[in-house]
Structure 1
Amino acid sequence: MTLSALLDRCRAQDAKAQRLLYERYAGRLFRVAQRYMKDRMEAEDRLVSTFQKIFVHLKKMEYKDEASTWLWMKRILVNECLMELRRSANFTMVPEQEAAEQSFDYNIIDEIAAETIHTLIAELPIGYRTVFNLVALEGYSHAEVAEQLQISEGTSKSQLNKARQLLQKKLQTLGYAAHIR
């Protein structure tokens, strides 16, 4: 069944179609949720609340193609995760002058298994991990991160910088030569 037809059936409250949509996207969305939520149960909770919102707002969503539908669902999930993190986490505020941005020489990423990268990111403190995910993996700007997390841009930059420094130390501990540029 095409995605367009599946979405039409979901809009008509067809439970079987909703189950098919869930089965088609739950795995990918769950992996995204795990990048933000440290605990598996929290990630599952965010996934469930995301699908609830998807089914409620599906009536308003205009189908263009599969890629835009995926991005729409992923954005809902990321927003669900961020709402939970804002509710439960303390994103430390730092002075703007401490927020000098540094970046990895990303050639090292080619040498590391995806599971190792995922594990290292998951071990980051919640503030570092959240900002790293939003900026480095989702492509948000620091202004967007600041707005989403209700922090300053300086805090966003600082959290990203500290995440990168901590990842560099972890990579060096594993025997990888990470370079800051």
Structure 2
Amino acid sequence: MLGICMRYVKDYHVACDLMHDGFITVYSKIGDFRSEGSFEGWMRRIFVNTALGYLRKANVLNGSVPVDGLVQLDNHDVTVFERMEAAELRRCIDRLPDGYRVVLNLFAIEGYSHKEIAEMLGINEGTSRSQYARAKIYLQKMLQKAEMM
């Protein structure tokens, strides 16, 4: 569960605090688990919601970092992803601005729809889509620079 928390916050100590808070929520709400899905999935959602609650309180999701020259890269640039180690890709994702990173995690990793993300973050669906698209472009630019080095 620490890994889930680390995907949403960059600071290890904050992630540990969120993990602690998540486990407290799990133990206090264990009676609410109805065995309709997997226990791990139910827990995962609690930890994601705990991290999102922290980010909302810290007000990091409202800002957006402009990406100069937003240009969709060609499909041949996708091969950069294929050649990367998972840890390398994780480091690049960690360097994304908070709003981009959160939406990318929720959509691409956790599997939420843009509608669900919008409801969770208190934004409109178009903003979620835009943040995701910008996150991909920002990530592609970082990877392109890393490949040139």
When the two structures are superposed, what TM-score results if normalisation uses the length of structure 2?
0.84
Structure-2 residue corresponding to 1:124: 96
Q: Percent identity?
A: 37
Show structure 2 runs of 5+ residues with no match. 65-71
Q: Cα distance, 1:125 vs. partner?
A: 0.5
Structure-1 residue corresponding to 2:53: 83
Would the aligned equivalents of 2:107 and 2:113 in 1 still touch at CA under 8 Å? Answer: yes
Q: Mapping of 1:50-89 within 5 angstroms?
A: 50-63=22-35, 68-88=38-58, 89=60
Q: Cα distance, 1:108 vs. partner?
A: 4.3
Match of 1:173 among 128, 137, 145: 145
Q: Cα distance, 1:57 vs. partner?
A: 1.1
Q: Cα distance, 1:136 vs. partner?
A: 0.8
Q: Cα distance, 1:103 vs. partner?
A: 9.2
Would the aligned equivalents of 1:103 and 1:164 in 2 still touch at CA under 8 Å? Answer: no
Flag the 1:138–1:116 CA change in 2: closer, same or farther, 3 A.
same
Runs of 4+ in structure 1 deviating by more than 4 angstroms, as ranges, are 102-108
The size of the alignment, in residue pairs, is 138
1:47 matched to 2:8? The reply is no
Would the aligned equivalents of 1:50 and 1:80 in 2 still touch at CA under 8 Å? Answer: yes
Flag the 1:69–1:103 CA change in 2: closer, same or farther, 3 A.
farther
Structure 1 residues 54-99: Cα deviation after superposition (integer angstroms, max 9, x where no partner): 111112324478xx11111110000000111111124247xxxxxx
Match of 2:86 among 114, 122, 129: 114
Q: Cα distance, 1:37 vs. partner?
A: 0.7
1:161 matched to 2:139? The reply is no
Q: How far apart are the structure 2 equivalents of 1:73 and 1:79?
A: 10
Structure-2 residue corresponding to 1:38: 10
Question: Which stretch shifts more, 42-51 or 106-115?
Answer: 106-115
Q: How far apart are the structure 1 equivalents of 2:112 and 2:57?
A: 20
Q: How far apart are the structure 2 equivalents of 1:64 and 1:75?
A: 14
Structure whose alpha-carbon radius of gyration is higher:
1
Show structure 1 runs of 5+ residues with no match. 1-28, 94-101, 177-181
Would the aligned equivalents of 2:101 and 2:135 in 1 still touch at CA under 8 Å? Answer: yes
CA RMSD of aligned residues (A): 2.2
